Amino acid sequence: GKPAPAVPTPNVPRLPVAPPAQSGPQGPQGAPAPMPGLPQQVPDQPGTAASQAQANAPVSASARRLYDRSRAQLLQVRTLFNGSQASVGSGFVVSAEGHVITNYHVVSQHALEPERYRLQYQTPEGDGGDLELLDFDARRDLALLRIVGKSPAAARMTATPLVFRKAEQPLSKGERIYSMGNPHDVAFAVVEGTYNGLVERSFDPLIYYSGSINPGMSGGPVIDEDGEIVGINVSTMIFAQQMSFLVPAQYANALLQRSRQAAPMKGAAWPRLREQLMAYQEELSRNFLAQPWRTLTHPRYRFPIPQEQYMRCWGSGTPTDAQGLQMQRTQCRMEHALFINETLQTGYLGVTEEVYDGSKLGALRFSTVYSASFRNERLGAADKDRTAPYCKENFVQQSDGPPLRAVACLRAYRKLDGLVDLTVLVTNVDSATEGALGRFEARGVSFANATQLTRHYLQGFAWTR
């Protein structure tokens, strides 16, 4: 039969925190492979054309000025396990009391397992110390830390903290902005790029930045020509050039104002994480349920295709294969997911519709192919984050639609009580040589919203009038 397509992963992944520096050419067993395309540097010989060109290369006066002005507030955020680096990211000082902004995914190991992981910082000059976690915003992938203790290094960083650009002074598309951080645990760096407005069709605002940010720069500041914070490094587009994404600075400022007087977090952050995810899924589900379905063009059926308000849809068709089968596929998916830990991202919706025409096969051969396509849909298995799927199957007959065979499956989150992953598989059973196979997915929703989303999806199947 036709194999079911793999569900597309979000095209905007979180920047992975950089692994610690490797001690040998291949690093320790299990260490991530180097990023594709990372060049191996070979020193030029004095007097060669290459070295002369490098010497004559123009240096951005603005980038140099802004980095020199801001470097005292930059720091590398290190997660330690048994005294050794488990991962590294970046951060920056935003108050005289030593508050530090970074990404949630940079400190997630410590947040979820504080008894095993601890946080430290290091400055561009090599000074360091401890950090404590005050609060986080998992939806925006932000965390608020504070420097522990007083030292000459801490005094230098907090003397002139970075400030946020005023919300009433928005950037214009094309303005130069500057990303800072410590890529791949190599050295602190500044990357000059361009502000290109907000990402279209995104549920939450995300800045599109034309500049190359790399693992290890996660959580670093992005500043304007005046040295004021406009965004925070967070993610990049896979297999693209200079397509990076930033959290708007207003959300980091809101986290600072909300929690600057907070006491350090004690114990694992699962209860607070659950509270934030429950609020997010409620808003996401409510917005999605309020949208009417679009539909594919078909002489017999209406199929539920979501609006592209905060989803992207791709369509494809296959020519008649050797057996005489034709198929048309539409896939829609939110491209932004919420980071929980290294193995789990959640908080998104997806829809896939496949339409089959087997009139040239005949009823028996079409039934064989069509049934195989339904059977090979993967539903996941138990893992450390979620249970195995629990499924219910039934035949559904609606007043305005064809008879359907439907399977609904839930996978519960082990440490986020009340949240589940929903998968709904649907196929029509009214025609001997025509069929439709639909798949709806909702990651990280409540049982009540899973029920409403299932009903909403099933009601999207109807006869064509």
Residue with tokens 């708007």: 248
**Domain assignment present for 93:** yes
- Whether residues 203 and 297 fall in one domain: no
pTM: 0.86
State the pLDDT at residue 132.
98
**Domain assignment present for 253:** yes
- Whether residues 66 and 191 fall in one domain: yes
State the pLDDT at residue 47.
36
Q: For residue 328, which of 315, 311, 340, 338 has the smallest C-alpha distance?
A: 315
**Per-residue confidence band for 81, with pLDDT thresholds at 50, 70 and 90:** very high
State the pLDDT at residue 325.
85
Q: How far is CA 234 from CA 186, 216, 217, in A?
A: 18, 10, 8
**Domain assignment present for 41:** no
**Domain assignment present for 58:** yes
CATH number at residue 82: 2.40.10.120
Digit-coded pLDDT (tens) for 223-276: 999 999 999 999 988 777 889 999 999 999 999 999 999 999 999 999 999 999
**Domain assignment present for 340:** yes
Q: 226 by DSSP, 3-state: which?
A: coil
- Quote the mean pLDDT of the chain: 86
Domain boundary among 235, 267, 299: 267
Domain boundary among 232, 251, 267: 267
Digit-coded pLDDT (tens) for 413-441: 999 999 999 999 999 999 899 888 999 99
Q: For residue 345, which of 22, 16, 40 has the smallest C-alpha distance?
A: 16
- Per-residue tokens: 52: 């002369």
**Domain assignment present for 175:** yes
Q: For residue 87, which of 76, 99, 71 has the smallest C-alpha distance?
A: 76
State the pLDDT at residue 42.
28
* Residue 375 scores a pLDDT above 90: no
**Domain assignment present for 14:** no
- Whether residues 56 and 159 fall in one domain: yes
State the pLDDT at residue 319.
67
**Domain assignment present for 71:** yes
- Whether residues 163 and 85 fall in one domain: yes
* Residue 343 scores a pLDDT above 80: yes
Q: Among residues of the chain, what percentage have pLDDT more than 90? A: 70
CATH number at residue 305: 3.40.1000
Q: How far is CA 255 from CA 18, 142, 165, 252, 387, in A?
A: 25, 8, 15, 5, 33
Q: How far is CA 68 from CA 73, 189, 194, 319, in A?
A: 10, 11, 20, 59
- Whether residues 226 and 283 fall in one domain: no
Q: In this predicted structure, which of 45-54, 202-211, 247-256 has the lowest mean pLDDT? A: 45-54
What is the spatial distance between Cα 421 and Cα 412, in angstroms, rounded to a whole number? 7
CA atoms within 13 A of residue 196's CA, in its CB half-sphere: 13
Q: In this predicted structure, which of 21-35, 113-127, 236-250, 288-302 has the lowest mean pLDDT? A: 21-35
Q: For residue 305, which of 272, 269, 351, 345 has the smallest C-alpha distance?
A: 351
State the pLDDT at residue 12.
45
State the pLDDT at residue 17.
61
* Residue 396 scores a pLDDT above 60: yes
- Whether residues 297 and 207 fall in one domain: no
Per the structure, the count of domains in the chain is: 2
* Full domain range(s) for residue 424: 274-463
- Whether residues 119 and 245 fall in one domain: yes
Domain boundary among 267, 288, 306: 267
